[in-house]
């Protein structure tokens, strides 16, 4: 059999995708679960202080594939979030600036689905930071575990012992509902890992509710696609 034949066959299966062309299952996709810490909550005036991210493939958390960087902000005036995450000016005095960190982060999360808790604010900061540096933040699909939790409660999710406790939807509430003990809190990498543990459980809940692909997530209003 010629090498060319094998090459054409491989290209056919690559175009067709798994299972003869069906969209990849949520249990097969690659995710970057992320969290960011900032000097405040205003994307126009405040800046990034830290970015943490964890890689997942379906429900598998790849503990060896993580990203964490402290970021030295350009401005010296910090907002009200400092008492929460505890990052002080001295902690980032020797950290790299965003112009060094953002290209690394964009490479790390390239071609993956982005997941976070209350991820809209992280998205605004990350995209604005990239824009300030003249970098194009790639088009991406974003998933908010808080929004997913609200939807699952309205659907009376399969894991009733968890959904019954989700009257509130902060990350701490979901961790308690799923009986997850995080390694730490309000640290970008630790919060990314905690969010990954929540997403891991939500993936199976979503599958039980018939939400098995990105198309299903979009129809349910649980996935947002941002342009480059």
DSSP code per residue over 154-193: HTT-S-HHHHTTTTS-SHHHHHHHTT---S-SSSHHHHHH
**pLDDT attached to residue 72:** 95
Q: Mean pLDDT, to the nearest integer, of 159-163?
A: 50
CA distances from 129 to 118, 132, 133 (A): 18, 5, 7
Q: Mean pLDDT, to the nearest integer, of 82-89?
A: 74
Q: Which residue has the higher pLDDT, 181 or 70?
A: 70
**pLDDT attached to residue 146:** 92
Q: How far apart are the C-alpha atoms of 33 and 56, rounded to whole Å?
A: 7
* Residue 14: pLDDT over 80: no
Q: How far apart are the C-alpha atoms of 64 and 43, rounded to whole Å?
A: 31
Q: Please, which pLDDT band fits residue 183 given cuts at 50, 70 and 90?
A: confident
Q: How far apart are the C-alpha atoms of 9 and 11, rounded to whole Å?
A: 5
The residues spanned by each domain of the chain are 26-222
Q: Please, which pLDDT band fits residue 31 given cuts at 50, 70 and 90?
A: very high
Find the range with the poorest average confidence among 1-10, 30-39, 105-114, 182-191: 1-10
List alpha helices for the chain, DSSP H: 3-16, 18-21, 82-85, 98-109, 119-132, 145-154, 160-163, 171-177, 188-208, 214-219
Q: Mean pLDDT, to the nearest integer, of 106-128?
A: 95
The class that CATH gives domain 26-222 is alpha beta
Q: Mean pLDDT, to the nearest integer, of 87-108?
A: 93
**pLDDT attached to residue 79:** 66
CA torsion through residues 152, 57, 19, 144, sign: positive
* Residue 102: pLDDT over 50: yes
Q: Mean pLDDT, to the nearest integer, of 211-226?
A: 93
Q: Which residue has the higher pLDDT, 166 or 198?
A: 198
Q: Please, which pLDDT band fits residue 32 given cuts at 50, 70 and 90?
A: very high
**pLDDT attached to residue 24:** 87
* Residue 111: pLDDT over 80: yes
- Average pLDDT score over the chain: 83
Q: Please, which pLDDT band fits residue 181 given cuts at 50, 70 and 90?
A: confident
Q: How far apart are the C-alpha atoms of 51 and 199, rounded to whole Å?
A: 18
Q: Please, which pLDDT band fits residue 13 given cuts at 50, 70 and 90?
A: very low
Residue 105: burial class (beta carbons within 10 Å; 0-12, 13-18, 19+): buried
């Amino acid at each position: 059999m010629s090498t060319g034949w094998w090459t054409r066959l491989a290209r056919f299966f690559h175009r067709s995708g798994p299972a003869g062309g069906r969209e990849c299952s949520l249990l097969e996709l690659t995710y970057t679960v992320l969290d960011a810490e900032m000097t405040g909550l205003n994307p126009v005036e405040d800046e990034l202080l830290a970015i943490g991210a964890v890689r997942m493939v379906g429900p598998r958390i790849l503990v060896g594939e993580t990203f964490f960087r402290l970021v030295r902000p350009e401005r010296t005036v910090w907002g009200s979030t400092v008492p929460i995450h505890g990052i002080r000016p001295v902690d980032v005095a020797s950290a790299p600036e965003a112009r060094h960190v953002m290209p690394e982060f964009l490479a790390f999360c390239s071609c993956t689905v982005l997941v976070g808790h209350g991820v809209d604010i992280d998205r605004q900061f990350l995209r604005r930071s990239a824009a300030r540096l003249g970098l194009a933040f790639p088009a991406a699909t974003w998933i908010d575990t808080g929004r997913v939790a609200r939807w699952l409660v309205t659907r009376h999710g399969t894991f009733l012992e968890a959904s019954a406790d989700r009257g509130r939807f902060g990350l701490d509430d979901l961790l308690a509902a799923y009986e997850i003990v995080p390694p730490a809190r309000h640290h970008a990498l630790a919060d990314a890992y905690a969010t990954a543990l929540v997403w891991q459980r939500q993936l199976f809940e979503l599958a039980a509710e018939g939400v098995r692909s990105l198309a299903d997530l979009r129809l349910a209003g649980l996935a947002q696609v941002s342009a480059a």
